[in-house]
Structure 1
Amino acid sequence: MKALTKTDFNFPGQKSVYHGKVRDVYNINGEKLVMVATDRISAFDVVLPKGIPFKGQMLNQIAAKFLDATTDICPNWKTATPDPMVTVGVMCEGFPIEMIVRGYLCGSAWRTYKSGVREICGVKLPEGMKENQKFPEPIITPTTKAEIGEHDADISKEEILAKGLATPEEYAILEKYTMALFNRGTEIAAERGLILVDTKYEFGKHNGTIYLMDEIHTPDSSRYFYSEGYQERFEKGEAQKQLSKEFVREWLMDNGFQGKEGQQVPEMTDEIVASISERYIELYEHITGEQFVKEDTSNIASRIEKNVTEYLNK
């Protein structure tokens, strides 16, 4: 099992490339973007030293499915998937914020709440909540989009407007789309015996219109619980059975790593890497309701290069 952790393509019409934490984005003639979902994995804003086989393929295929399933809610950037690890789409000017929506109190929001804080991103939280409890209504807790190596920071709607990161009219559309997408994701998850706990969306503008960008409803951008046994575990104060990247974070924390200065990433053995890959496949099959078909990984880079070049030359 090979993993693709680095790309260095030179596609027809390529102007530039941006290497993100897990995705590499190629600018084609200032009009199209070729987004390669690599097998890199990040946690606590740190890219871990080993790639996870098939992770990029899974994320790309889940995102493509959800982008296609939400075109009636809002326009999105995707135009094609010429390779299992690649999405090609229209180039948008991104808003420098991520729209995070939470249906349940867990993860970083729970850690903040547990420390005594009762307001996140300008949203007041009720007293007496417990970990993994459902909010009366989903809440939107945006963050700034950090540069590489920096942490995303919480930001309120008021701060977004005050800093001019979006106009009031734009922000109203972002909120509307965020809630509608979350509701759709929740419905699809419920059909598959899952709870969409929280997720994030990124938006940008293309020809003056707001588009949904990037990936959606993947285990990298979302957290899922299993519906079965949720209530029972919640009432007993037990950890929820979840499908998300949280298990990677938990493994890191159990081994003394939270992305803080001076901390070392624990050794990623072949067993750990294989177990993470298996968890991703489990989520893929759960959320799509389809069996995951592993692509040939003998030479991933040349396969991608051939598929994308053929598509761009059409």
Structure 2
Amino acid sequence: MNFNFPGQKSVYHGKVREVYTLENNTLLMVATDRLSAFDVVMPKGIPYKGQILNQIATKMMRDTEDLVPNWLVATPDPNVAIGEACEPFKVEMVIRGYMSGHAAREYKAGKRLLCGVPLPEGLKENDKFPEPIITPATKAEMGDHDEDISREDIIKKGIVSEEDYLQLEDYTRKLFKRGSEIAAKRGLILVDTKYEFGKTKEGKIVLIDEIHTPDSSRYFYTEGYESRQKKNEPQKQLSKEFVRQWLIENGFQGLEGQKVPEMSDEYVKTVSERYIELYENITGEKFVKADVSNIHERIEKNVLNYLK
């Protein structure tokens, strides 16, 4: 998608989003239907995925703005978010309430220290941690993988000042607590998530990017969680993990020489349906499909009306 908005200064084409910098310190983000897994963009887009992520993130920003200030000013179109341009911190604040995903893989490999945080003995996959743990990652430059880093290293290397970092940790814990409360009302468990922050030109720390979406978070269903743990069964989850699992089963993990498996139209349709299910479960609202007959024209019209 290529737009030329009034006052446009630059554009950045990300893996799944287009970011336009406009004058007056304004940032405009278009959430596309592109799907990325293992840091690779899949050959086919997923219908309505951009709308779903943008609308979940908007709702969650509104539901947490009393706790933590954020960058968002308006969403003039189902796929568009407009807000204040910020200088992003070069770390992602990952917080985990349960031992799942990356943490579980590291634990299985025998590690008992994750990002400088000691992990208790005797845990099994998907067990709840006594307290949520923060396991930051450095934000990768183009194409590289994000890397685990400890709080001590972040401060020592001057990636973030100690004062700012303590604020990021405080905001991360508050957001995770609120996100967990919202999830619990919907019969869900917020397992882990990541937050990104930036600084406004006035020097205020704000939440940026997306929040509590299935692309940035992992959810379990509350119902049956305990019995599945007791029986050592995999948890029923709401996240992008189902796509990753499908790719792994089809011999793809983003490693050199591996080819992305062919996604049939039928499979793409099932992924789209899963994303809609995620939306409805996470927000507790019915998903209303936007008109996609001419998405480019629709976005342009809505944004131009807003900018007027």
Query: Match of 1:51?
Result: 45
1:278 partnered with 2:273: yes
Query: Match of 1:233?
Result: 228
Query: Match of 1:134?
Result: 128
Query: Counterparts in 2 of 1:165-314, with a 5 A limit?
Result: 165-206=159-200, 207-313=202-308
Partner Cα distance (1:278, 1:37) in 2: 18
Q: Give the superposition deviation at 1:94.
A: 0.4
Query: Match of 1:3?
Result: none
Q: Which of the numbers 24, 29, 40 marks the counterpart of 2:18?
A: 24
Q: Residues 54 and 277 of structure 1 are in contact (CA less than 8 Å); yes or no, is this contact kept in structure 2? A: yes
TM-score after normalising by structure 2: 0.99
Q: Give the superposition deviation at 1:163.
A: 1.5
Partner Cα distance (2:190, 2:306) in 1: 34
1:115 partnered with 2:109: yes
Q: Report Cα offsets for 1:183-202 as digits up to 9, x if no partner.
A: 00000000000000000000
Q: Report Cα offsets for 1:127-175 as digits up to 9, x if no partner.
A: 1110000000000001011122110111111111111111111001000
Partner Cα distance (1:270, 1:108) in 2: 30
Q: Report Cα offsets for 1:64-122 as digits up to 9, x if no partner.
A: 00000111111100000000000000001000110000000011111111011111111
Matched letter for residue 41 of structure 1: L
Q: Residues 15 and 30 of structure 1 are in contact (CA less than 8 Å); yes or no, is this contact kept in structure 2? A: no
Q: Residues 285 and 291 of structure 1 are in contact (CA less than 8 Å); yes or no, is this contact kept in structure 2? A: yes
Q: Report Cα offsets for 1:222-276 as digits up to 9, x if no partner.
A: 0000000000001111011000000010001111111110111111111111111
Secondary structure of the 1:184 match is helix
Matched letter for residue 177 of structure 2: N
Q: Report Cα offsets for 1:196-218 as digits up to 9, x if no partner.
A: 00000000001110000011000
Partner Cα distance (1:25, 1:287) in 2: 25
Secondary structure of the 1:15 match is strand
Partner Cα distance (2:53, 2:78) in 1: 9
Query: Match of 1:74?
Result: 68
Partner Cα distance (2:24, 2:142) in 1: 22
Q: Give the superposition deviation at 1:21.
A: 1.3
Partner Cα distance (1:258, 1:47) in 2: 12
Partner Cα distance (1:14, 1:186) in 2: 38
Q: Give the superposition deviation at 1:310.
A: 1.5
1:63 partnered with 2:63: no
1:104 partnered with 2:98: yes
**Given the superposition, is the C-alpha separation of residues 233 and 216 from structure 1 closer, same or farther in structure 2, using an over 3 Å criterion?**
same
Secondary structure of the 1:66 match is helix
Q: Which of the numbers 2, 10, 15 marks the counterpart of 1:8?
A: 2
Superposition CA RMSD, Å: 0.7
Task: Return 5+ residue gaps in structure 1 as ranges.
Answer: 1-6
1:83 partnered with 2:72: no
Q: Residues 20 and 148 of structure 1 are in contact (CA less than 8 Å); yes or no, is this contact kept in structure 2? A: no
Partner Cα distance (2:267, 2:193) in 1: 25
Q: Which structure 1 residue ranges, 4+ long, deviate > 6 Å from structure 2?
A: none
Matched letter for residue 161 of structure 2: T
Q: Residues 21 and 148 of structure 1 are in contact (CA less than 8 Å); yes or no, is this contact kept in structure 2? A: no
Partner Cα distance (1:17, 1:27) in 2: 6
Q: Give the superposition deviation at 1:30.
A: 5.6
Q: Report Cα offsets for 1:26-61 as digits up to 9, x if no partner.
A: 000160000001001111111111100000000000
Task: Return 5+ residue gaps in structure 2 as ranges.
Answer: none
Query: Match of 1:4?
Result: none
User: Equivalent pairs: percent with the same residue?
Assistant: 68
Partner Cα distance (1:8, 1:163) in 2: 38
Query: Match of 2:155?
Result: 161
Partner Cα distance (1:152, 1:302) in 2: 35
Number of residues of Structure 1 aligned to a counterpart in Structure 2: 307
